[in-house]
Amino acid sequence: MNTIKARRPPPGVPSRFDPLDAAITASLARYGITVIRVGLGFIFLWFGALKFVPGMSPAEDLATRTIEHLTLGTVGPAVSLPVLATWECAIGLGLLTKRFLRATLLLLAVQMVGTAMPLILFPAETFTRFPLAPTLEGQYIIKNVVLIGAGMVIGATVRGGRLTTEPPGGDHIFHIE
């Protein structure tokens, strides 16, 4: 069980906001993971669907060149783009429906590794000054750290785990069961 200690108000400070804080925290615990899962699913489905329409995805060129480079030229854009689009849509649908969630998260993890490759393979296109100043493409890739974290949080629930606000005993420790 992972635990994070919550800050308590200093002694003597009125806690008149405690009921409101508890209600907000309970709502966040109740709905937060669902919002992450649905939002992430929507993003993958949307961005994947864009790749089915030539010229619609701003990541199309970089993605196909990355796949072509990683496969030593054996998989060209005519194959890689529809496969990537299908892959991303499958991730999106898996997250939205909660079906095959373990497999979905595995697909997401592999996809994230592939998505990071342009930072290594094409640094001139992903950084204006390596490693401190990413281009727009580089920023697009680097922000995937948040998507990876979201996938990890969702993954922590596949065995029935859930986010709770207070464990038994009310010692103000937030944890994932």
Strands (E), the chain: 2-5, 127-129, 133-134, 163-164, 173-176
* Cα separation of the two ends of the chain: 6
Contact 28, 171 (CB under 8 A): no
How far apart, in whole angstroms, are the C-alpha atoms of residue 38 and residue 19?
29
Q: Report residue 163: phi and psi, to 5°.
A: -90, 130
pLDDT computed for residue 3 by the predictor = 58
Q: What is the pLDDT along the chain (177 residues), one digit of tens a residue?
A: 555 555 665 654 557 788 888 889 889 999 999 999 999 999 999 999 999 999 999 999 999 999 999 999 999 999 999 999 999 999 999 999 999 999 999 999 999 999 999 999 999 999 999 999 999 999 999 999 999 999 999 999 999 888 888 666 655 544 555
